[in-house]
A and B are shown apart, each in its own frame.
Chain A
Amino acid sequence: MKRQLVLENGASFIGEGFGSNSDMKGEVVFNTGMTGYQELITDPSYCGQIVTMTYPLIGNYGINRSDNESGQPSISGLIVKEIAKKPSHWQKDKTISEWLEEYDVPGIEGIDTRKLTKIIREYGTLRGKIVSADADPNEVAEELKKWPLPTDQISRVSTKSVYVTPGSGPRVVLVDFGAKQGILRECIKRNLDVVIVPYQTTAEDIAKLHPDGVLLSNGPGDPKEVPEAVEMVRDILGKIPVFGICLGHQLFALAAGANTVKMRFGHRGVNHPVKNLRSGKFVITSQNHGFTVEKESLKGTDLEVTHIAINDGTIEGLRHTKYPAFSVQYHPEASPGPDDSQDLFDEFLSMIETNKKEGAQLA
């Protein structure tokens, strides 16, 4: 069935529908990863977004049971050049189309995705809607212009209740703003005793759990939409070691007095080089963010830039100069993407250990 994607600027792309046939609005973003579609579709950070993949053949290895980053697709829609009808892989469970239909996520294939990508590059992220092919694009564009981008994504994807994955190592509270499974997996791999808590948990409640460290997860949307979380981070800073990832990084920056701004079209892909300013080395990272910490806003804060994006110089990592706390804008847990930076979890762990020892000495 022919369907179309309409952008707020009136541009329309007609292609063949797959997945569900429902109409869906969202912020249209592009991702440059050539594989890893299942991981990103289920990455809660994409909540509310229509994702276009720049690689033209998507779904080649199907959908399997082991690569989900959350319980279900998070995206609002998927735009590709060609969707695989007959995927081939030993782990394949179903096709993308079958899977998205199950979860009522619409998709379109057969459009010039490179043209779409270039529009996003030029104009910045745009609102868009997947509708039937005979809808009037101008009408849809008008509707989109009036449509306020949703702000409640974090509450939609965060856990509703506290749960625990026990381990014999230090206790870490993972504040779930839409945490990827990968973060939890890395914690479990290191034997951490993880308590996962909802995004609006207060510092007081966290302290009651007696954590050795607090991990601020990734998540969708604007960090300023969750001021309660910023407050929580401010309260625990200096008391408990903190490690922030992606949205967690932005929340950490806001809590320390810096500012965040929306980027034109963000970083989404698995090929972004990041330089570690302390070691002078770089790594290739997996990224997915539409906001960034404003460089100028660091003045007067106790934050130090530890990592920058080599391509555009934006901040990719921060460290608190007084307290045990650091963060990265990218995804050390990978999935999808390169696992070059998994040692950051070890760094967090050793920060916890050092802090424990220092604490013991003080006592």
Chain B
Amino acid sequence: MPKRTDINKILVIGSGPIIIGQAAEFDYSGTQACQSLREEGYEVVLVNSNPATIMTDTDIADRVYIEPLTVEFVSKIIRKEHPDGLLATLGGQTGLNLAVQLHHTGILDELNVQFLGTNLDSIEKAEDREKFRDLMIELGEPVPPSEIVTTLEAARNFVDNVHLPVIIRPAFTLGGTGGGIASTAEELDTIAENGLKLSPVHQVLIEKSIAGFKEIEFEVMRDANDGAIAVCHMENIDPVGIHTGDSIVTAPCQTLSDRDLQHLRSVSLKIVRALKIEGGCNVQLAQDPHSDRYYIIEVNPRVSRSSALASKATGYPIAKVAAKIAVGYHLDEIKNAVTGTTYASFEPTLDYVVTKIPRWPFDKFDDAKRTLGTQMKATGEVLAIGRNFEESILKAVRSLENGTLHLELKETAEMSMEDLFNIIKKKDDRRLFLIAETLRRGASIEDIWSCTQIDRFFLTKIANIVAIEKALEAAPKDEQVLMNAKKHGFSDWKIAQCWNSTETEVTAWRKERGIHPVYKMVDTCAGEFESETPYYYSSYEDENESVVSKRESVIVLGSGPIRIGQGVEFDYATVHAVWAIKNQGYEAIMINNNPETVSTDFSVSDKLYVEPLTLEDVMHVIDLEKPKGVVVQFGGQTAINLASGLAAHGVNILGTTLDAMDQAEDRDRFEQLLLKLHVDHPAGDTAFSTEEAVKIANKLDYPVLVRPSYVLGGRAMEIVYNEASLKHYMDHAVLINPDHPVLVDRYLVGTEIELDALSDGENVYIPGIMEHIERSGVHSGDSIAVYPTQTLSDQVKQEVVDTAIKIARGLHVVGMLNIQFVIHQQHVYVIEVNPRASRTVPFLSKITGVPMAKVATQLILGEKLEKLGYETGIHPEPNRGVYVKVPVFSFAKLRRVDVTLGPEMKSTGEVMGQDVTLEKALYKGLLASGMTIPAHGSVLFTIADKDKEEALALVKRFYDIGYNILATEGTAAMIAERNIPVTVVNKIGGSTPNLLDVIRHGGAQFVVNTLTKGQRPARDGFRIRRESVENGVVCLTSLDTTEALLTVLESLAFQTECMPQMDDRSIDRKVANLEAGVSR
């Protein structure tokens, strides 16, 4: 059937902020879907709360709403826009859940909005555990014995029958939040209770564990004509038991026979047909490694992280095709965009091996529990392609940017074989690396297999990598051995290590012998048909397929995997850079390795190389392409870190010079620059010992900001308030030595602001200044940013603008610049200068309408601001409207991580709120960030002594709008002193109900907790915060955020004051007399 003509306008729901379990893959799928629908002539209305996405660009949809993804706001949009259709299967679990809720309110029926793609009934059948089980039983397909329970009691009863271990999965939660494997009765109680609480429908599925089975995924498509195909199959190297988002995955399946595979494929197709899926669907299955027994694990009736991976692994654009199916097309009517000659109704076949490795945030969160299970913990992932497994996995390892370029970790040096095996058994994120280490030390494949159940096929491959290491060590400068190592994905860095040489020497030696990689095309058909996909990967093979064009080219370095501190914002900027480069008439070449993102959609750039972002791998592309230059400003720290290495190889770094970047990064040079420009910054010094640090701190006066000089992004940065804390920090938090000094700076309390600027070296244009709600000391990425500024005087603003212009000119910035300031006692201090695209680029671009990444790219390519229509100065602030950027955290998924806001960034994503007043904008922002904002309830205060004065004012205001005040003893006493009624809650460990009981049982809607590290009751503070997060209670650790919330609550609250008493003095007197009489 050709496309539907009975619908014209389609509403597409996005997936909201980036959180663990729902990341950039939905920007990719949403963008593809919108483009695909508009291509067909439909009017597309998009709603998403995440400004840091390509899909929320106004040229992706006809109309874009950046509003909270709640029934309330989306209903408003539906009433305003009157769409004919709703497409909700491309916005992740968030989009799907919202669509289901909208349906239940009746608005879709009322306004005759049709559900496009897979219908609601099918979605519910796939998502609801019980309905799904029933369907499987009806189809005669095996599911592991399981039961849906709504009480702990029932969970215990089930276990009595099927025996432990069991897997617990809460219904309708993202990324398996709240799930886990229970091997003991105790674990069962904890996980089941938590799961019940987190499930919005208070259901958990308890299921017999089939841990150890092979975990297989099929990405399947079906159209309304019952045409169905399996786009891709993938095998998790980690057997069942680890969430697929946390598993190392390979495509295609490597260890299944055709019989196994066809069986599972047929089962998958049978299921999607029974479910009547119209679009994409993910089917997860478990295959017994010892027989042909299999089980169905679950089905996701929508595009997903796995479908994004499958799209990038095969070249088949699942989301795009799913959108076409949703408007009526059949698979055999849709052209295959890759070959241009074949149709979407064929199954891609690969002639390479794909490996995906998740990127975990444990480098940021030292304290987090890093064992892997059914709850996803990774923030992002990398993809690598090779012609053999070893090449593929080693390239993936290099892409991770986790401090190693090979299957090895420094920390293993101090581990015994026993340690290694213990960690391997515990299944944490280091498992792959540790397995290699045990093999290096002589462990057998059987030993590892018996404690991991990882298929011997994969273990053999890892063993081969270790064998190649040994061969390299045994025969330095043997060309055959080197060639074999390169073919198996070894980096020159590792080869140098094996040869006791340097990377530079190895590279030179290799190049002299003409050993270099060629590039192969990803074409969906293994070379069977001619195709023109500009999508390449490197391999040490014979024939190079990447033809260098005659056009002058520019390479853009991507930002690699999504991690805390480097999110989808950078992908946004690189994509815009690519578009701008194309516009300027150059060939735009992208290098990146993140399978989730828009930047690795081969239709974005003129040429896409999926490669690790290491010097060696990037240089190989440059050697072939010989570009005009490389743009490093947009790919976050990943790209910046490569700049000096590239420049050393004679590569032209376009835009701001390397020297200027170094000037901004190097503390001494930075200070000199500021001095020269007469710009103030917080005083500070470098300490090489604890004594020195103390001396510096005494000179500066407490509090001081301390951080190691060798790490970036606020890691291990702390504010210390006294000498004891400083000593503790110096002795415990950092390893101080002459190479790794500690920076001690004066901590200036004040308003933090930041701005982004565009500069051509002479002229400087500032699109806007953003004011942070949280005072200095909270990482800018974790602060609520407000535009336009709300509290700054015109004079301060002018000073900030002047300073920014001075710095941009002083550094001769060509391109982008981000500066952070603190306003301390009406005085402007610069805290940080980043001569590159920042996290706020998409937010500020969208709200000011200045296409920053595009303009910056033009400047980098030699255009002048004036010619582009921008003069030196600041973009006029709007008269009307306030915009806030609110951070979003994924704390519920990361056990043991402290949620306190501080100098170290912790958020995974962001949302935007906009309205006419700050309160309204904040309300929307907080709501969109996932906060529930009830009109009444209780607030629980546990406040550090230093904050008590300030907190009391807030307590009073909460009380005034009708909130009940709860507090621990010390805090309560102080509150009572101010004549505010307060309920005392027992401390942790005290008699019940104590603090934890109150939090667990919904006794408080908000928890305000400012007890932090270095203070006596730190442990309790930590437990309170964790308990809040794990129970879904809003936990505020900054009084500024608390106040922001308060202003919102106050704006929502109507006063309920009782009427004043009549001023009838005679009555008063009578009463007084009466009382006097009684008392007498």
Q: Which residues of A contact B (CB under 8 A)?
A: 30, 32-39, 54-57, 60-61, 64, 66-67, 81-82, 84-91, 111-115, 117-118, 121, 269-273, 275, 280-282, 284, 310-311, 334-340
Contact = CB atoms under 8 A, between A and B. Distances in A.
A156 B362 CA distance: 63
B225 A281 contact: yes
A34 B252 contact: yes
A86 B456 contact: yes
11 contacts: A35-B261, A55-B349, A61-B255, A85-B460, A117-B351, A121-B527, A121-B528, A271-B349, A273-B343, A311-B341, A340-B266
Nearest to B263: A339
A358 B527 CA distance: 49
Interface string B246-289: 00000011111111011001100100000000000000000001
Contacts of B331: 282
A113 B349 CA distance: 14
A81 B350 CA distance: 13
A231 B290 CA distance: 50
A87 B387 contact: no
A33 B351 CA distance: 10
Query: Could you say which interface size class chain B belongs to?
Result: 35 or more
A55 B350 contact: yes
B348 A271 contact: yes
Given A112-B541, A115-B542, A338-B266, A33 B332 contact: no
A280 B2 CA distance: 13
Contact of A67 (B259, B266, B351, B526): B259
Nearest to A37: B258
B interface, by DSSP: helix, strand, loop or mixed? loop
Contacts of A35: 253, 256-258, 261
A88 B460 contact: yes
Nearest to B226: A281
Interface string B931-965: 00000000000000000000000000000000000
B526 A275 contact: no
B351 A114 contact: yes
B262 A337 contact: yes
B350 to A, nearest CB: 6
Interface string B145-186: 000000000000000000000000000000000000000000
Contacts of A113: 351
A339 B457 contact: no
Contacts of B343: 273, 310-311
A115 B541 CA distance: 9
A284 B346 contact: yes
A274 to B, nearest CB: 9
A56 B388 contact: yes
B345 A310 contact: yes
B529 interface: yes
Given A35-B257, A54-B526, A334-B262, 17 more contacts: A30-B527, A32-B351, A33-B258, A33-B349, A34-B349, A66-B259, A67-B259, A81-B387, A88-B457, A90-B289, A111-B542, A269-B349, A271-B348, A273-B345, A282-B227, A284-B345, A284-B347
B756 interface: no
Contact of A114 (B261, B290, B332, B543): B543
7 interchain residue pairs of minimum CB distance: A36-B258, A112-B542, A54-B526, A271-B347, A115-B543, A35-B258, A88-B457
Interface string B327-347: 000011000000001110111
Interface centre among B230, B289, B347, B526 (most CB of A within 10 A): B526
Given A35-B258, A67-B258, A311-B342, A88 B349 contact: no
Given A34-B252, A81-B387, A88-B456, A64 B349 contact: no
B47 interface: no
A56 B353 contact: yes
B641 to A, nearest CB: 32
Interface centre among B226, B259, B348, B350 (most CB of A within 10 A): B259
Contacts of A38: 257-258
Contacts of A272: 346
A interface, by DSSP: helix, strand, loop or mixed? loop
Contacts of B226: 281
Contact of A60 (B230, B289, B457, B526): B457
A61 B256 contact: yes
Contacts of B528: 30, 32, 54, 117, 121, 269
Contacts of B341: 311
Contact of A118 (B225, B258, B352, B543): B543
Contacts of B347: 270-271, 273, 284, 338
A111 B351 CA distance: 13
Given A280-B225, A282-B345, A67 B257 contact: yes
B526 A118 contact: no
Given A310-B343, A310-B345, A117 B258 contact: no
A128 to B, nearest CB: 16
Interface centre among A85, A114, A336, A338 (most CB of B within 10 A): A114
Contacts of A66: 259
B342 A32 contact: no
A67 B263 CA distance: 14
A194 to B, nearest CB: 22
A88 B342 contact: no
B529 A311 contact: yes
A32 B526 CA distance: 7
A339 B262 contact: yes
Given A112-B542, A280-B225, A61 B257 contact: yes
Nearest to A115: B543
A93 B460 CA distance: 18
Contacts of B530: 121
A54 B258 contact: no
B980 to A, nearest CB: 69
Given A61-B256, A112-B542, A117-B527, A56 B225 contact: no
A281 B227 contact: yes
Contacts of A112: 541-543
B525 A32 contact: yes
A114 B527 contact: yes
B943 to A, nearest CB: 59
B257 A55 contact: no
Interface centre among B253, B346, B387, B528 (most CB of A within 10 A): B528
A263 to B, nearest CB: 12
Contact of A310 (B269, B332, B387, B456): B332
Contacts of B342: 310-311
A78 B52 CA distance: 51
Contacts of B259: 66-67, 335
Given A281-B227, A311-B341, A56 B258 contact: no
Contacts of A275: 332
A133 to B, nearest CB: 14
A54 B230 CA distance: 19
Given A55-B351, A338-B265, A88 B455 contact: yes
A82 B349 CA distance: 17
Interface string B224-235: 011101100000
Contacts of B529: 121, 311
Contacts of B455: 88
Contacts of A55: 252, 349-351, 526
Contacts of A280: 225
A64 B292 CA distance: 14
A90 B260 CA distance: 11
B216 to A, nearest CB: 13
B208 interface: no
A57 B389 contact: yes
Given A60-B457, A282-B345, A90 B291 contact: yes
A64 B258 CA distance: 11
Interface string B358-388: 0000000000000000000000000000011
A82 to B, nearest CB: 5
B395 interface: no
A57 B353 contact: yes
Interface string B535-577: 0000001110000000000000000000000000000000000
